[in-house]
Amino acid sequence: MKTIQTPTLSDYFGLILLSAIWGSAFIATEMAVKNLPPLYIAFGRIFLASIFLYAIIHLKKLSFPKDKKTWIYLIFIGILNNSMPFYLITWGQQYISSSTASIMLAVGPFMALILSHYITHDEKDMTSFMEKLLC
């Protein structure tokens, strides 16, 4: 088992940058949902991300999968992990504020951390990890 490494200054900077990017998405969605339907907003986010990822694939000279089975898996994963959540978050933000939406979504990883202790067999060291994290 690996030991937990001490975070460096660049780790903290990366965390702050990631938080700023993630948090600004909720504010931008709140402003956009006043003028556009949720489906358009979700499509726009996914479309812009796909252009960015395509550029990375092109720069690294990678290739797309060739077989049909892999594409079916990728489409299924894309719908479940990107399309549906982005649409549902945007739809929900029609009725709640961006701060409430961001707090509700931020709770997810903590719930997964807590539940993993009880659901899985190999995450029993979570109690000591949480004690180190919170103290």
Q: Residue 135, SS3?
A: coil
Q: How do the pLDDT tens digits run along the chain, 135 residues long?
A: 577 788 899 999 999 998 888 888 899 999 999 999 999 999 999 999 999 999 999 999 999 999 999 999 999 999 999 999 999 999 999 999 998 998 888 888 888 878 877 777 765 555 566 556 665
Taken in order 60, 63, 69, 75, the sign of the CA dihedral is positive
Angle at 21 between CA 54 and CA 55, to 5 degrees: 10
Alpha helices by DSSP H, the chain: 9-32, 38-59, 68-78, 84-92, 98-119, 126-134
49-62 pLDDT tens trace: 999 999 999 999 99
Return the domain boundaries, the chain.
9-95, 100-135
Angle at 31 between CA 29 and CA 33, to 5 degrees: 65
